[in-house]
Amino acid sequence: MASENIEPYLKITDITKKFGEFTALKNISLDIFEKEFVCFLGPSGCGKTTLLRAIAGLDIQTHGKVFQKGRDISELPPAARDFGIVFQSYALFPNLTVRRNVAYGLENQKLPKKETERRVTELLELVGLPDQGDKFPAQLSGGQQQRVALARALATEPGLLLLDEPLSALDAKVRTHLRHEIKELQSKIGITTIMVTHDQEEALTMADRIVVMNNGVIEQVGSPYEIYSEPASPFVADFIGTTNFIVAELVTAKSARIGTIDISLGAAPSESVPGSKIVLCIRPENVLTGSRASGAGNQMEMTIDHVEFLGSFHRVHTAAINGPGTELMVDVSVARAREIDMAVGNKIQLALPADLTNVYPAGNN
Amino acid sequence: MRAAMAVIALFLLISIAFPLYALLEKSFQNAQGEFIGLTNYITYLTTPALSWSIGNSFKVTLLASAIVMVIAFIYAYALTRSCMPYKSIFKGVALVPILMPSLLPAISLVFFFGNQGIIKEWLFGAELYGPIGIVMGEVFYVFPHVMTIMLISMSLSDARLYEASEVLGASKMKTFFTVTLPSMRYGLVSAFFVAFTLIITDFGVPKVVGGQYNVLATDVYKQVVGRHDFQMGAVVAMALLVPAAFAFIADRIVQRKQVALLSARAVPFQPKPNKTFDMLMLIYCCLIGFIILSVLVMAAYSSVVQFWPYNLSLTTKHYNFDLMDGGGWSSYFNSIELAVWTAIFGTAIVFFGAYLVEKSRGFKTGRTAMQALCMVPMAVPGLVLGLAYVFFFNHPSNPLGFLYHTMPILVICTITHFYTVSHLSAVTALKQMDPEFEAVSQSLKAPFYKTFWRVTVPVCSPAILDISMYLFVNAMTTVSAVVFLYSSDTTLASVAVLNMDDAGDQSPAAAMGMMIVCTAAGVRLLHMLLTRGIQSRTQAWRKR
C-alpha cells in the first residue's frame, strides 16, 4: 500500500518530545498513507502513546512538524485538527445516554436536529448496537462501551482515526472479536487509522504496516510479515514472537563459529568484520529436527533440558552438550513429536537453515 | 481557559497572599507605620506577660491532643473492629460537636463545672477557668475531626493481613502491634497534626473558660480588640501562624505517603463477634456518646432556664435577642445570609478553580503555583486571616477598601478560611473522572465549558453538594476569622454568642448558640434529602 510516489496523508518529520529532562521521542520521522491502518507497537514507555498524542495535539512536541494532507498542523490545538480518538478507558460520558454520547460531536457542528438523530441511528447500526441507544454507558459491557466510543469518534466523519490501546481493557474473547470488527469497519469506510498497542498479536492481525518503537525511536517500519520474518534488530526479533539468540564469532563474510561448530550464513551484517562477535536470531519454529534435520546444513547436536507442552506443539529447550553456553528452543509439532524421543537428557539433532537465520552485530542489544 | 485561571488566581492572591503580606509588614512597623525591624518581636519575647502564652498554648494543646487521640482511638476502634450494635447511631452522635461553634461547648462546661455549676465538686476543688477548662473544651471540640480521620484509616485495613497473622499463630496483642497500629500509623500522625492545629488556633474555648490563663489565640484578640495594639497583635498572630503552618506542612508530607498504602486487591476487614469485647466497646461508646449529648443538652437546657441556678423554671425569654447586646435577631439573619452567600459563591469558585487546576493542559507553572496557593488557607488560623484582612483592606491606599465592614468581605474571608478542605474534596471528585474526557471533547470540537456543564458538573454533583454544605455549616459556626471584620450592620450569630458571654449573659449566649446548632443540623438534614433526590434524578447512570 505504501508507495513512494503518492503524497503521504500524514507526514511526521523529525519529532522530538521532552518531559523535563526525559526525552520521550527522539527525532521521529514517519509517513502514513491514505486509508492505511498503522500500528505503533512497543513496550510500555517506548513513546508510542506520546507520538499518538503529538499527532492529536494533546501533547504538542518539543520540536518537529506534523503535516496532515499537506497542511502544517504542528502547533494547532486538538480542536483545530481533523481526527477522532478512542481511548483504552472508553472515556464515555457516564451521565449521558449512548445516543447523546454519539451525538456529542455532531451537536457542535450545528446540524439540524433531525440530521443528527439520523446520523446517530446510522452509526449505532454500523457498530452493531442499534437498540442500545437509550441506555447509559455503565449499563453496557466493556466491548459494547468501546463500540459506542468508536461510533462517537466516527460521528463527525474525521479524516483520521486514532486508537489508543482500544482493546487492552477487554477480556481475551471480546478482544479477538472486536479486533476483527474494527479492522472490517476500517476497511469498509476506508478511514486512515493509527492504533497504539503493546500487544503484538493485535498489531500483526490488524495492521497494514507496523511501526515498532523502543526508547523513543523507531526500530522498524514494515508489514506484519516483514517485521516477523526479517526483524531489523535483535530488539524487534525479541519483542515480536519468540526468538533464539546465539552469540557467535564471524569467521568469513558467509560463515560463523558457535563454540566449536562452524555454520554458514545467508548474509553477515555489513559493518561486522571477520573475528568480531555477532548475534544469530532464529525462531524456534524454524529450527529443523528429526528427519528434516538430517541432510540439512548447519547441524548441531544438543541435549534436551526440558519440554513445555503448549497445545498444538511442544517447545523443547535444549542445551549445548559440552557444558553451559548455547541454549536453543525448538518447536516440535505434535505430529513430529511422535518420531522423536523427547525424554529429558536425550540428545537431539538440530539444524539451523541459513536463510531463516538473521544476523546482527553483537553489543547493541 | 487561561483567562479563567487568571481570575481565580487573582481571587486567591487578593484573599490570602496579599493580606498575609500586609500582616507580615505590620509586624515590623511601629504605631506610626514606620519600619522598625525586629523591635516588636523583641518586646514580645522579653515581656513575660506576653511570651508566657506561647508555653501555655503548647502545654494545653499537647495535653488536649494526647487525650483526644486516646478517646477517639478507642471510639473508632469500637466502630470498626467490634460487632457492637447501633454503630451508625454512634457515628452520628460523634459528629454532633461539628454543628456547634466552639464557644458553645465551653459555655456548657461553665454550667457543669463553673462557679455555679451543677457538678463542680467533680473537679475536687480545682478551678474550671484555666488549663482544665481549655483542655476539656478542646477535647470535645476536636473529637469528631480526630475520630473521623481514625475511622477512615482503620477501615482501610486489609483482612488478609489479619488472616495471615492468625494463621501464623500470633496472639491478639501481637496482631494489634504488628498489623493494626502499623497500618494506621499515617492516620494517627495525621490525626495528631489536625488536632494540634485545630486546638492551638481555636479561640472560642479559651475565650470562655480560659480565665487568666493566656494562650496565643486569646492574646491576638486581646491585643487587637482590647488594647488596640495592632502591631503587637500582628506579632502574636505571626507566633500563632508558625506552629500552625508547620503542623500543616508535616501533615501534608505524611498524607502524601499514605497514598500507596493499600493495594487495590486488599480485602476489607470484617470483625467477628466476641461477646465480652463487644459489650465493653458498647459501654465505652455509650459513655462517650452520653457525654457528647449531655454537653449539647446542657446548652439547650441552660438557654431555656429563667435564672441559673436559682430559678430553674422554663422560659423562652433568652431567645429575645433584641433585648440584649450582640446585635439581636438581625445577627442571626446576617449569619444565614453570610452562610448562603459563602455556600453559593464559595462552591462555584472552589469547584471551578479545582477544575482548572486538575483538568487543564499545559501552562504547568501556573497550575502548580495555583495548587500551592489553594493549600495556603489551611495553614492560616482564622484569627490570623481576619487580622490580615484588617491590615490589607483597611489600608488607606487599597482600592478595595470600600469592602471593609461590609457583608462581601465577610463572605470572601469565610470562603478563603475554608478554601483548602473544599478544594481538596473537589479535586478528589474530579480525579475520579476519566482524564480523557477533555481530550475526547476537544477531538469532538466541543468547547471546554460545554463539557464542564454537561458532564463534569452533573457527574460531580454529590461532591458539589458536600462542599456547599461544608461551607454553609462552617460559615454559621466560625468565630475566629470574622471577629475582627464584622460591623454594626453585619453582626453575626457566632460573634453574638461571644459578646453575650463576655457581657455575662450566659443563657442568651447559649440560646444563640442553640440557634446555630439547629440551623446547622437542619441544613445537614436538608443536604441528606437533597443528595438522595439528586442521586435518584441525575445520577441514574450510576445504577446498572
H-run or E-run covering B450: helix B448-451
Please name the residues in contact with A146: beta carbons below 8 A apart, sequence gap of 6 or more.
Answer: A86, A90, A166, A167, A169, A170, A178
How many Å lie between the alpha carbon of A176 and the closest alpha carbon of chain B?
Answer: 25
Nearest to residue A47, comparing CAs of A72, A64, A67?
A64
Nearest to residue B360, comparing CAs of B456, B454, B460, B425?
B456
Nearest-by-Cβ selection for A85 from B434, B439, B447: B439
Segment B306-329 shows an average pLDDT of: 80
- Please report, as a single letter, which amino acid is at residue B380: V
Nearest to residue B427, comparing CAs of B358, B343, B352, B347?
B358
Nearest-by-Cβ selection for B459 from A95, A108, A162: A95
User: For residue A1, what pLDDT is reported?
Assistant: 47
| Percent of chain B surpassing pLDDT 70 | 96
Tell me if B59 sits within 8 A of B138, measured CB to CB: no
Q: Which residues of A touch B446 (CB under 8 A)?
A: 104-105, 107-108
Tens of each residue's pLDDT in chain A, 365 residues: 445 567 899 999 999 999 888 999 999 999 999 999 999 999 998 999 999 999 999 888 999 999 999 999 999 988 889 999 999 888 899 889 999 999 999 988 888 899 999 999 999 999 999 999 999 998 899 999 999 999 999 998 999 999 999 998 888 888 999 999 999 999 999 999 999 999 999 999 999 999 999 999 999 999 999 999 999 999 999 999 999 998 888 888 888 888 778 888 887 677 778 888 888 999 999 999 887 877 788 888 889 999 999 988 999 999 887 655 688 999 998 888 888 888 888 888 889 998 899 998 887 54
How many Å lie between the alpha carbon of B346 and the closest alpha carbon of chain A?
Answer: 25
Angstrom distance (rounded) from CA A198 to CA A201 = 9
- What are phi and psi for residue A67, nearest 5 degrees? -115, 130
**CA A300 to chain CA mean position, Å:** 33
Tell me if B325 sits within 8 A of B506, measured CB to CB: no
User: For residue A320, what pLDDT is reported?
Assistant: 83
pLDDT in tens, B364-382: 777 888 888 888 888 889 9
Q: Which residues of A touch B456 (CB under 8 A)?
A: none
Please name the residues in contact with B284: beta carbons below 8 A apart, sequence gap of 6 or more.
Answer: B74, B75, B78
Answer yes or no: do A89 and B445 touch at CB < 8 A.
no
Quote the ipTM score: 0.77
Which grid coordinates are listed for B489?
450592620
Answer yes or no: do B454 and A93 touch at CB < 8 A.
yes
Which grid coordinates are listed for B464?
458539589
Locus of grid cell 483542655: B135
Start-to-end C-alpha separation, chain B:
35
**CA B480 to chain CA mean position, Å:** 11
B530: exposed, middle or buried (C-beta count within 10 Å: 0-12, 13-18, 19+)? middle
Work out the pLDDT band at B116, boundaries 50, 70, 90: confident
Nearest-by-Cβ selection for B455 from A60, A89, A95: A95
- What are phi and psi for residue A255, nearest 5 degrees? -145, 155
- Of all residues in chain B, the one with the smallest CA distance to A97 is B541
Answer yes or no: do B454 and A78 touch at CB < 8 A.
no
- Please report, as a single letter, which amino acid is at residue A29: S
CA distances from B416 to B16, B336, B421 (A): 7, 18, 10
Nearest to residue A30, comparing CAs of A61, A67, A57?
A67
Residue B307 φ/ψ region, left for φ over 0, alpha for ψ in the -120 to 50 degree band, beta for the rest: beta
Nearest-by-Cβ selection for A108 from B446, B458, B543: B446
Answer yes or no: do B442 and A152 touch at CB < 8 A.
no
How many Å lie between the alpha carbon of B360 and the closest alpha carbon of chain A?
Answer: 11
Does position B124 have pLDDT exceeding 60, yes or no?
yes
Answer yes or no: do B442 and A91 touch at CB < 8 A.
no
User: For residue B276, what pLDDT is reported?
Assistant: 92
Start-to-end C-alpha separation, chain A:
31
Angstrom distance (rounded) from CA A56 to CA B361 = 14
Please name the residues in contact with B163: beta carbons below 8 A apart, sequence gap of 6 or more.
Answer: none
Answer yes or no: do B445 and A153 touch at CB < 8 A.
no
